[in-house]
Amino acid sequence: MAGGFVLVVGPSGAGKDTLLRLARDRLAGDPRFVFPRRLVTRPPSAHEANLELDDVAFDMGVQAHAFALHWRAHGLGYAIPAETVRQADDGHWIVCNVSRRIVSLARRTLPRVSVVQVTASPEVLARRLATRGRPEDGDLRARLDRAIPIEAECTIHNDADAEGAADRLVVHLRACVAGARPGAHTNCV
């Protein structure tokens, strides 16, 4: 059976990494799903267990086509390892947090892409960003005002009930495995 990519997107502070962690825990032992660690040009934190690389290694990886996807945001480099394309071709579903700005590129270059948009109210986003305190979060108002329209197969509102939101993500992931064609909307709200 064919695999593909489930791209989890949304504004900073929406809780994407929390939902991915909870979904990964719920699907532990199911070999159909791969939750790759992102490569990021910053150290891992309590909020994100990324693999750190420096700017030189990031730029070399871009030049060597070592990434399935890569982008820069907020002064940092982010990437998804290239091996994930082979894993998708081998029937796995790759579930990862990516920038909304690269979704159209991903739809053109990756096999079977489904997009899950995670949202939260502006008040919740502001509180989460202030609590997180990352240097790249900088001007909270600018981060909150940045709107990037996205076409998503699934939208999950994640204001308060992360467990319920993770359950909705798992339902969507299982629908992808069951053969829901990419582009088909699932009931995630």
Which pLDDT score is estimated for 50?
81
Whether residue 3 contacts residue 36, with contact meaning beta carbons closer than 8 Å, is answered with: no
Q: Quick one: CA dihedral 43, 78, 16, 4, positive or negative?
A: negative
What does the pLDDT look like over 158-186, one tens digit per residue? 998 999 999 999 999 999 998 865 555 55
Contacts with 181 (C-beta within 8 Å, 6 or more apart), sequence order: none
Q: Tell me the average pLDDT across 77-106.
A: 96
Residue whose C-alpha is closest to residue 151's, from 109, 188, 116: 116
What would the two tokens of residue 87 be? 């894993």
Domains delineated in the chain: 4-36+85-177 (3.40.50.300)
- Model pTM score: 0.87
Beta strand 76-81 pairing with 67-73: antiparallel
What does the pLDDT look like over 45-54, one tens digit per residue? 776 778 899 9
Helix, strand, coil percent content, the chain, rounded in steps of 5: 40, 20, 40
Q: How many CA atoms lie within 13 A of 61 on its CB side?
A: 23
Label residue 72 exposed, middle or buried (CB < 10 Å: 0-12, 13-18, 19+): middle
Which pLDDT score is estimated for 122?
84
